[in-house]
Amino acid sequence: MIIELDMQSDVPIYTQLVNGIIEGIASGKLQLGEPLPSVRGLASDIGVNLHTVNKAYTLLKQDGYIQVHRQKGVVVHPDGMPQVNEEFLDKQRAELKPIIAESICRGMSKEQLLEIVENIYGEITLGRKENH
């Protein structure tokens, strides 16, 4: 799987890595149990400090997206993805609120905003297998 990084972005590289891996899982490009590169290997491949990759992997592990095994290395969590809970919903609300507020300030209608969400959802899930 290819993760596109923008080294000039205001979004930190570790956040871009986290988002890219989660998107890969959501789209089905990364399967449950699939191995990911080692911290050192990924850092070398993309030309960033290994602490950047380590931070991304730590966050993904804390949220239940990956597992780190001494023998197997880093893998997409083989037992499935974390489920929706109140903490996740609160996080989503907090992250979406400023985006929605800015959209309203710029004159975007609810329908336009929902259309964008539906389009992005469709782009991500387009290649997913039916069994996921």
- Rounded to the nearest integer, the mean pLDDT of the chain is 93
Residue 65 and residue 25 in contact, taking contact as beta carbons nearer than 8 Å? yes
Is the confidence at residue 131, as pLDDT, over 50?
no
CA distance 53 to 76: 15
pLDDT tens-digit readout, 87-123: 999 999 999 999 999 999 999 999 999 999 999 999 9
Give the three-class secondary structure for 74: strand
Give the three-class secondary structure for 67. strand
CA distance 108 to 117: 13
Give the pTM. Answer: 0.88
Residues 42-60, buried b or exposed e (16+ Cβ, 10 A)?
A: bbeebebeeebbebbbbbb
Whole-number pLDDT of residue 130? 52
CATH class held by domain 13-76: mainly alpha
Query: Does 127 have pLDDT greater than 80?
Result: no
